[in-house]
A and B are shown apart, each in its own frame.
Chain A
Amino acid sequence: MAKKYLLLAALSFTGVAHAAQPPSTATDPDGFKEPLKQLNFNPGLDQREFERSTLSALEVYDPLESWNRRVYHFNYRFDEWVFLPVVQGYQFITPRFVRSGVSNFFSNLGDVTNLLNAALQLKGKRSLQVGGRLVVNTTLGIAGLWDPATKLGLPKQNEDFGQTLGYYGVPNGPYIVLPIFGPSNLRDTTGLLTDYGGEAQINFLNVSQESGRHPEIIVLRGIDKRYTTSFRYGQLNSPFEYEKVRYVYTESRKLQIAE
């Protein structure tokens, strides 16, 4: 009789113990939370999704690959031996407020093409925002040396002619690594040239005209561009950096066009 009760008690006790321990927060006596137990695994552990995804990501149209790779290595060396040392010198001789002024100035200049391309894509709200940025930064920001527009809630939004073409369904075309400029494709290279052409026509703040007489403006713009671009060759630290950059470039352009 007593044994029966004992058994019953023991059973109910284990029942309570089970109920009190939800499986998701189980920790072992060392305090280890076994994070992998929170996950649903494919029962056979033989899924090849990583391989499938990555193999399909390697399918980027790149008929000029051999040429592109050589330009890629040229850019890498140019960056190491010329571009980055120059940027370092620039950082050394200029105080920070000068550098940010330079960056803001060229960024404001770029808002002209951003505005044009937002308008060409019939994005009304964005055109108004970028137009507002231009007005505010050119006046209050004194020819764009400061960027009060961002503080007023008008963030920088990039639109280029490559994106406009993509917006209207023009495909990438072959992947191209441009000397010094870096990764691109046929569509975006066309866009780049068109944007520069447009900029020269508009001649906003007289910069394009003056650049013809003072090439140092173009040089400064190039240095500023490198100064504000955080990418470093070798940063991915992989023998397959070329493939990875190619994929990331292609996908990020898709994203920029879709957005």
Chain B
Amino acid sequence: MLRPLRLAALLGGLLMSALTLSPAQARDIDAAGYGFPLTNPFEATIATTPPDLRPKLPLDEDIDQADYTLNIRPERELILPDNFWAVKKLRYRLAKQDHAAPLIFLIAGTGAAYNSAINEFLKKLFWQAGYHVVQLSSPTSFDFISAASRFATPGITSDDAEDLYRVMQAVRAQHPKLPITDFYLSGYSLGALDAAFVSKLDETRRSFNFKKVLLLNPPVNLYTSINNLDKLVQTRVKGIDSSTTFYELVLSKLTRYFQQKGYIDLNDALLYDFQESKQHLSNEQLAMLIGVSFRFSAADIAFTSDLINRRGLITPVKYPIREGTSLTPFMRRALQCDFDCYMTEQVIPMWRARTDGGSVLQLIDQVSLYALKDYLHSNSKIAVMHNADDVILGPGDLNFLRKTFGDRLTVYPFGGHCGNLNYRVNADAMLEWFRG
């Protein structure tokens, strides 16, 4: 007689505890209702959203915007060779409203400058919604390393965030009359990881008191991400042999495509049309293409960091470089270095020298989202949007995000790496997060 009662009590208790104790669930967007047409993560990463599914945005010439320069590290004027004249000062772009408005900072992803395609898209989106927008280069980009990075060796996320913070303060100081109501912060890819660290820094520095922060496709474990990206150039690609390189293969496909089409028409829809054609690229070829673009970033970072710090790994220490000097021999050397090589040869030795040693595992913990777990968990102003098929994630990363962010995490079923940021549904969700 007592037994069913006890059972009921037990069940009731379980239910209660489930209701009260279980953490808030992440928002998982249903694949069927989502409507994003590119279910292949590699296609999505490269082509991004088809033009007619993007939000309607203003033209560049209708936006009140300009590029500005900051002289953050005047000593670089002397350290950098002549042909780096264009990156001795840091550039950023500001799009203004003609009335008091909130301001949002946007941080670009790996190797990307302030005017990267995604930053431009986000600028238009937020400007249209009534924000002042400041676009910043990634701390890993050529111009930022040269003009704004103290150690000129990006990869230690907390140092990168500190550099970014100084830049943001300088931006604010350069526009004292701009009427700003509140500050917001966002970034995509590596820029999202940077944004999380910048937000943490702001909790003590208090220059901005960010009202809300949004991380778009951040790496969770930086080491997993760079290993995944390094691995992409290791796919087994059909059609490559001793007489045909990968680039020649892709270009010959492109040539045949245009020949069949009858004329060259470069537009936003080109990539979909190309992937629909007979000449379309396989997953391995697409992955290789993504890997190639990241390898070029790695080469730029390795070369620039080595040159500024006079490490002598790529450019001989006293090698004279003028405007006419060929950099091709150094490019040849730099492109042999992937992210892992850059970390091993440049970041880790510098970090060890500066912090009295420490294991690589410690470093990974320090530079990844793990370092901010408690902060991110307890702070309701920070949200994440990510994709279930993002190539920079590894097993367990989504679990970390789910546990850390709870219902402030949105997981989209498709989109690859940042391929759905310019999808209307995602754009609306971003604006909604900052509005709410």
Chain A residues within 8 Å of B, Cβ to Cβ: 27-36, 38-42, 45-47, 49-58, 65-67, 69-70, 73, 76, 80, 91, 96, 126, 155, 157-158, 232-235, 237-240, 242-243, 251, 254-256, 258-259
Chain B nearest Cβ from A256, distance in angstroms:
7
- Residues of A contacting B291 in the complex (Cβ-Cβ under 8 angstroms): 50
| Interface pair A67/B324, CB less than 8 Å apart | yes
Please give me the residue from chain B that is nearest to A58 by CB atom.
Answer: B328
Provide a sorted-by-A list of 29 A–B residue pairs whose CB atoms are within 8 angstroms.
A28-B395, A31-B28, A31-B398, A31-B411, A32-B395, A32-B397, A35-B416, A36-B391, A39-B284, A49-B237, A49-B246, A50-B295, A52-B245, A54-B295, A66-B326, A69-B325, A70-B324, A73-B83, A234-B86, A235-B115, A237-B111, A237-B113, A237-B141, A238-B296, A239-B142, A239-B303, A240-B331, A243-B327, A243-B331
Contacts of A52 in B (CB 8 A): 245-246
CA distance A248 to B292 in the complex (A): 15
A33 touches B323 (CB 8 A): no
Does B103 interact with chain A (Cβ within 8 Å)?
no
Contact B283 A66 (CB under 8 A): no
Chain B residues with Cβ below 8 Å from A259 are 255, 258-259, 263-264
Q: Once the chains bind, are B28 and A255 in contact (CB under 8 Å)?
A: no
Chain B 397-436 near chain A by CB (<8 Å), digits 1 or 0? 1110010000000010000100000000000000000000
Q: Is the CB of A240 within 8 A of B300?
A: yes
Can you list, as one digit per residue, whether each of B323-338 has a CB less than 8 Å from chain A (1) or not (0)? Answer: 1111110011011100
What's the nearest-Cβ distance from chain A to residue B31, in Å?
Answer: 11
Which chain B residues lie closer than 8 Å to A256 at the CB level?
Answer: 264
Please name all residues of chain B whose beta carbon is closer than 8 Å to the beta carbon of A243 when the two chains form the complex: 327-328, 331
B279 at the interface (CB under 8 A from A): no
B332/A41 in contact, CB under 8 A: no
Interface-centre pick from A76, A234, A235, A239 (highest chain B CB count, 10 A) = A239
Residues of B within 8 A of A80 (CB): 86
Contacts of A39 in B (CB 8 A): 235, 283-284, 287
Q: With A30-B396, A40-B236, A69-B326 in contact, do A35 and B390 touch (Cβ < 8 Å)?
A: yes
Asked whether, in the complex, the Cβ of A258 is within 8 Å of the Cβ of B259, the reply is yes
The distance from the CB of B29 to the nearest CB of chain A, in whole angstroms, is 10
B391 to A35, Cβ gap below 8 A?
A: yes
**What is the predominant secondary structure among interface residues of chain B facing chain A?**
helix
The 4 closest A-B pairs by CB, nearest first: A66-B324, A53-B245, A30-B398, A237-B113
Cβ of B63 under 8 Å from chain A: no
The answer to the question of B16 belonging to the interface, with a C-beta cut-off of 8 Å to chain A, is: no
B186 CB, min distance to chain A CBs, angstroms:
20
B216 is an interface residue with CB less than 8 A from chain A: no
| Residue ID in chain B nearest A233 by CB atoms | B86
Residue B148, interface by CB 8 Å: no
Assuming A35-B389, A70-B323, is B235 touching A40 (CB within 8 A)? yes
**Which residues of B are found within 8 Å of A65, using beta-carbon distances?**
324, 326, 328
Neighbouring A residues of B324 by C-beta, 8 Å: 65-67, 69-70
Among A32, A240, A259: residue with most chain B CB under 10 A: A32
The interface bits of chain B over 298-322 (1 if a CB of A lies within 8 angstroms of the residue's CB, else 0) are 0110011001000000000000000
Residue of B nearest to A31 (CB): B388
In the assembled complex, the CB of A145 is this many whole angstroms from the nearest CB of chain B, namely 20
Minimum distance in angstroms from B242 CB to a CB of chain A = 10
Q: Are B258 and A255 in contact (CB under 8 A)?
A: yes
Docked-complex contact B300 and A238, CB < 8 angstroms? yes
B288 touches A49 (CB 8 A): yes
A76 touches B86 (CB 8 A): yes
A54 touching B255 by the CB < 8 A rule?
no
A50:B233 contact, CB within 8 angstroms? yes
For chain B, residues 96 to 127, give those with C-beta under 8 angstroms from any C-beta of chain A. Answer: 111-113, 115
Partner of B112, one of A41, A157, A237: A237
Is B198 close to A, CB under 8 A? no
Q: How far, in angstroms, from A70 to B323 measured CA to CA in the complex?
A: 6
A249 to B288 Cα, complex, angstroms: 22
Give the shortest distance, in Å, between B300 (CB) and chain A (any CB): 5
